[in-house]
């Protein structure tokens, strides 16, 4: 017996060229989707305090940022609207107004980027409701699932008409994929892609996002979002959404749920997305601002980990910058 180790994994780590040759996971700009916020009536981009580097866009700055993302090769753009407080009501009517801020922004961005990237929109009521919930409320004050589905179906048609190619169903109502899919089918819009936030957890990591969209929510979303302790239930949600016609399924947040990303990737044959959410972004930015970690390495490492876990697409607020780093 040789006194030396026969297997020496370090050999393959000894030079940058060798490491590059045997790397199992890579990120390409096309895998990245940039979430963007557009604020109704804004004259200047408004910085989001808890997300340094991210802003609520004006219509004009949104177009510019969209063009910049396309220049970097980003695979998709996901638009979120921030309506004026006075546009909010209990039913979230601004969300189905053909001239509501999201629809206006969709037309702007589609005109700017054409088919150079995939333009997507968030389909949820929370940005538009005065109570901040993702659905409408019943007489008892709880979220009324089926009444919300009717609102989602209408939103889907309005967003599709405004040019959205992919609808991001993030409300976590039961049957939402089926409801929007059948409304689109009845209208002959077989072309619209449904991206189901199939397994969206009731997470503390959405904190900064609530500032970003000026959320009116009091309380929490635990009656509709998945309990962080559950993994099998995530698979159930994913199965239902695929059966209802989802084209892509998402796990959200990403970093605390990498086990779920892997299980979902192994369970379905549609593309899997993961959303590196606002709190994940904020943690890295805050630590980097303190000099506690290397910001650029942390960005690459976190997104690489999400890809390694099995995500085909990664939603990240660093999409444009990361795409530029990768080039
Ligand atoms: C709801 C929605 C949320 C996020 C995306 N869509 C917030 C929530 O459920 O409270 C969070 C995204 C993030 O934190 O980056 N429409």
pLDDT tens per residue, range 199-218: 999 999 999 998 888 888 88
In a domain, 64, yes or no: yes
Give ligand 1 pocket residues (Cβ under 6 A).
Answer: 122, 124, 126, 134, 170, 206, 209, 221, 277-278
Q: What is the pLDDT of residue 213?
A: 87
Q: What is the pLDDT of residue 22?
A: 98
pLDDT tens per residue, range 5-14: 999 999 999 9
Q: What is the pLDDT of residue 2?
A: 84
Residue 55 alpha carbon to ligand 1 centre in Å: 16
Residue 124 alpha carbon to ligand 1 centre in Å: 9
1 pLDDT tier (thresholds 50, 70, 90) = confident
Q: Ligand 1 pocket check: which of 37, 92, 120, 170 to mutate, most ligand atoms within 8 Å of Cβ? A: 170
In a domain, 3, yes or no: no
Q: What is the pLDDT of residue 260?
A: 98
The whole-number average pLDDT for the span 296-323 is: 98
pLDDT of residue 23 exceeding 80: yes
In a domain, 90, yes or no: yes
Q: What is the pLDDT of residue 219?
A: 87
In a domain, 164, yes or no: yes
The whole-number average pLDDT for the span 124-145 is: 94
38 forms bridges with which residues in the sheet? 57, 81
Q: What is the dihedral of CA 159, 164, 167, 168, to 10 degrees?
A: -100
pLDDT of residue 323 exceeding 90: yes
pTM of the model: 0.96
Atom of ligand 1 nearest to the CA of 126: 16
pLDDT tens per residue, range 234-290: 999 999 999 999 999 999 999 999 999 999 999 999 999 999 999 999 999 999 999
Active site residues: 200, 252
Residue in 123, 96, 121, 241 with CA at minimum distance from that of residue 177: 241
3-state SS assignment for residue 252: strand
Domain span at 176: 28-326
CA-nearest residue for atom 8, ligand 1, is 206
In a domain, 21, yes or no: no
pLDDT tens per residue, range 92-108: 999 999 999 999 999 99
The rounded mean pLDDT for the chain is 96
In a domain, 1, yes or no: no
Residue 312 CB burial class (10 angstroms; 0-12, 13-18, ≥19): middle
pLDDT of residue 136 exceeding 80: yes
CA-nearest residue for atom 12, ligand 1, is 277
Q: Ligand 1 pocket check: which of 206, 216, 277 to mutate, most ligand atoms within 8 Å of Cβ? A: 206
Q: What is the pLDDT of residue 253?
A: 98
Atom of ligand 1 nearest to the CA of 279: 14
How many domains, in total, are found in the chain?
Answer: 1
Tell me the CATH number at 132: 3.20.20.70
CA-nearest residue for atom 6, ligand 1, is 170
Q: Ligand 1 pocket check: which of 126, 176, 226, 276 to mutate, most ligand atoms within 8 Å of Cβ? A: 126
Residue 5 alpha carbon to ligand 1 centre in Å: 50
In a domain, 105, yes or no: yes
Residues 61 and 84: their CA atoms lie apart, in Å, by 18
Task: Characterise 175 by phi-psi region: left (phi > 0), alpha (psi -120 to 50), beta (else).
Answer: left
Residue 15 CB burial class (10 angstroms; 0-12, 13-18, ≥19): exposed
- Listed as own residue / partner, the contacts of 309-312 with beta carbons closer than 8 Å and 24 or more positions apart are 309/258, 309/259, 309/261, 309/262, 309/265, 309/274, 310/261, 310/262, 310/264, 310/265, 310/266, 310/272, 311/251, 311/254, 311/261, 311/265, 311/272, 311/273, 311/274, 312/31, 312/265, 312/271, 312/272, 312/273
Give me 93's structure tokens. Answer: 């009517």
pLDDT of residue 58 exceeding 90: yes
Residue 273 alpha carbon to ligand 1 centre in Å: 15
Q: What is the pLDDT of residue 66?
A: 98
Question: What are the helix (H) ranges across 114-200?
Answer: 145-161, 176-186
The whole-number average pLDDT for the span 57-65 is: 98
Atom of ligand 1 nearest to the CA of 168: 6
Atom of ligand 1 nearest to the CA of 217: 10
Residue 206 alpha carbon to ligand 1 centre in Å: 6
pLDDT tens per residue, range 148-180: 999 999 999 999 999 999 999 999 999 999 999
313 forms bridges with which residues in the sheet? 273
40 pLDDT tier (thresholds 50, 70, 90) = very high
Residue 39 alpha carbon to ligand 1 centre in Å: 16
Q: What is the pLDDT of residue 167?
A: 98
């Amino acid at each position: 017996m040789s006194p030396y180790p026969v297997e020496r994994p370090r050999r393959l780590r000894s030079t940058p060229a060798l490491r590059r040759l045997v790397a199992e996971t890579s990120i390409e700009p096309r895998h990245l989707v940039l979430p963007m916020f557009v604020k109704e009536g804004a004259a200047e981009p408004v910085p989001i305090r808890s997300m340094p580097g991210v802003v609520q866009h004006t219509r004009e700055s949104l177009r510019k940022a969209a063009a910049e993302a396309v220049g970097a090769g980003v695979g998709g753009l996901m638009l979120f609207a921030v309506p004026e407080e006075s546009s909010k009501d209990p039913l979230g009517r601004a969300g189905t107004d053909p001239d509501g801020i999201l629809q206006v922004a969709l037309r702007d961005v589609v005109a700017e980027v054409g088919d150079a990237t995939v333009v997507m929109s968030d389909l949820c009521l929370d940005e538009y409701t005065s109570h901040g919930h993702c659905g409408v409320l019943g007489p008892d004050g709880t979220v009324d699932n089926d009444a919300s589905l009717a609102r989602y179906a209408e939103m889907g048609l309005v967003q599709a008409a405004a040019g959205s190619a992919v609808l991001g169903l993030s409300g976590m109502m039961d049957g939402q994929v089926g409801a929007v899919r059948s409304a689109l089918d009845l209208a002959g819009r077989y072309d619209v892609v449904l991206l189901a936030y199939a397994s969206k957890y009731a997470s503390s990591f959405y904190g900064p996002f609530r500032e970003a969209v000026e959320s009116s929510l009091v309380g929490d979303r635990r009656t509709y979002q998945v309990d962080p302790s559950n993994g099998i239930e995530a698979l159930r949600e994913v199965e239902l959404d695929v059966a209802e016609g989802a084209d892509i399924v998402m796990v959200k947040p990403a970093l605390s749920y990498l086990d779920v990303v892997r299980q979902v990737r192994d369970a379905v044959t549609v593309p899997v997305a993961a959303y590196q959410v606002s709190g994940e972004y904020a943690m890295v930015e805050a630590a980097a601002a303190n000099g506690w970690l290397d910001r650029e390495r942390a960005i690459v490492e976190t997104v690489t980990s999400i890809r390694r876990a099995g995500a085909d697409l990664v939603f990240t607020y660093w999409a444009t910058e990361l795409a530029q780093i990768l080039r």
